[in-house]
Amino acid sequence: MRYEAVAGVLLAGALTSLLAACAHRDSPTRLVGTLERDRIEIIAEASEPVLSLDVREGMHVTEGQILLRQDTATAAAQIAQADAQIAQARHRLTELEKGARIEEIDQARARVAAARAAVERDEREFMRVTQLAAQNIASQSQLDSAQAARNVSRATLREGSAALATLLHGTRIEDLDQARAALAALEATRRELDISSSRLVVRATRAGTVDALPFRAGDRPPKGATVAVLLADTPSFARIYVPEPRRARVKAGDAARIYVDGLDRPLQGKVRYVASDAAFTPYFALTQRDRSRLTYLSEVEVTDSATHNLPAGVPVEVEIEE
């Protein structure tokens, strides 16, 4: 009887161990990671001194709220220079569109009249010298000089007539198009300067919490340096790493439970992203042992309501329902 009792106890213990092993095998292993939020880094558009900080770390800001201000003196000077260049280009375009003034046309006509008179004079002089040369009274050099003077007068008349015709015909369409294009380019540069100047007043690009302000008033951050870091008001997510043996069973959309220290119950979530490339690869020829060491970055979004204020960087454990 005593042996039957002992055998029953051993059988019960074996069944308990077997059930526990099955339960452990059926329950998913928790994956560790950290709780994160979308992190936004705002960079400096120019290397200008920080004049003032309008917020501090930990403050909640709305989209478009001013975070800090940089010096805009240099930007203002560049804008003034661009305005002057635009005015010059606009006046040049107006001048081309209106064409030559009446005074310029009258002046050109007067030059043509003077050139025509000179041609008539030199023509008569050339004819007279030609007759004298035929009578052996004028030398050949005098005849050559008279002929050259006549040719110069004729060329001057053609030049003056062409200049008058240019003024009368007005500006070519190609010159007008070039002037319009030059003005458009300067206006585009002016708009670009406006945008750059406005960004010296650094604003929040999204609603969120100020996580860091690396520079203080009086500092001169280099161009491209991060001057403000925001944690966006978007649902938190857990960043975890999925082991290679479980990678084939985990996919986007899978439900998950997220355990956070300090909370009484797990948070509901779903897998929103699983990397296709391993975060750790020992070498290109992977044995079965090495493959088990591969991990894949994954993000599990918190779908519970009223959890937008969860802190970032807190350790979490995640169970994925595969």
Say yes or no: 82 and 189 in one domain.
Answer: yes
The total number of structural domains that make up the chain: 3
What are the phi and psi torsion angles at 58 (to 5°)? 95, -15
Tell me which residue range forms the domain holding 67.
41-71+195-232
Say yes or no: 218 and 240 in one domain.
Answer: no
Say yes or no: 176 and 224 in one domain.
Answer: no
Task: Give the separation between CA 318 and CA 276, rounded to whole angstroms.
Answer: 20
HSE toward the beta carbon, residue 45, CA cutoff 13 A? 19
Strand partners, 201: 69
Say yes or no: 258 and 217 in one domain.
Answer: no
Say yes or no: 243 and 304 in one domain.
Answer: yes
Say yes or no: 86 and 104 in one domain.
Answer: yes
In a domain, 1, yes or no: no
In a domain, 14, yes or no: no
Task: Give the separation between CA 35 and CA 235, rounded to whole angstroms.
Answer: 11
pLDDT digits over 78-111, tens only? 999 999 999 999 999 998 888 878 888 889 889 9
In a domain, 207, yes or no: yes
**Buried-state track 65-103, b at ≥16 Cβ within 10 A, e below 16:** eebbbbebeebeebbeebeebbeebeeebeebeeebeee
pLDDT digits over 146-162, tens only? 899 989 999 999 998 88
**pLDDT class for 69, splitting at 50, 70, 90?**
very high
Say yes or no: 149 and 220 in one domain.
Answer: no
3-state secondary structure of 112: helix
Cα–chain center distance at 233: 24
Asked if residue 55 has pLDDT above 60, the reply is: yes
Select from 163, 193, 223 the last residue of a domain.
193
pLDDT digits over 191-206, tens only? 999 999 999 999 999 9
Phi/psi zone of residue 170: left (φ > 0), alpha (ψ -120 to 50 degrees), beta?
left
Say yes or no: 249 and 315 in one domain.
Answer: yes
pLDDT digits over 245-286, tens only? 888 899 999 999 999 888 888 899 999 989 988 876 554 445
Q: Which of 301, 296, 249, 248 is nearest to 274 (CA)?
A: 296
**pLDDT class for 171, splitting at 50, 70, 90?**
confident
Query: Position of tokens 């454990």?
Result: 317
Choice among 3-12, 133-142, 252-261 with the minimum mean pLDDT: 3-12
* Contacts (Cβ under 8 Å, ≥6 apart) of 67: 42, 53, 54, 55, 61, 202, 203, 204, 210, 213, 227, 228
Mean pLDDT for the chain overall: 84
Asked if residue 26 has pLDDT above 80, the reply is: no
Entry pTM? 0.63
Asked if residue 226 has pLDDT above 90, the reply is: yes
| Single-letter code of the amino acid located at 206 | R
In a domain, 4, yes or no: no
Task: Give the separation between CA 236 and CA 308, rounded to whole angstroms.
Answer: 6
Asked if residue 4 has pLDDT above 70, the reply is: no
In a domain, 252, yes or no: yes
Strand partners, 258: 267, 318
CATH code of the domain covering residue 56: 2.40.50.100
3-state secondary structure of 171: coil
Say yes or no: 240 and 189 in one domain.
Answer: no
What are the phi and psi torsion angles at 277 (to 5°)? -105, 140
* Contacts (Cβ under 8 Å, ≥6 apart) of 308: 233, 234, 235, 236
Say yes or no: 55 and 203 in one domain.
Answer: yes
pLDDT digits over 30-47, tens only? 899 898 888 999 999 999
Task: Centre a 10 Å sphere on the Cβ of residue 177 and count the other Cβ atoms it contains.
Answer: 10
Say yes or no: 82 and 67 in one domain.
Answer: no
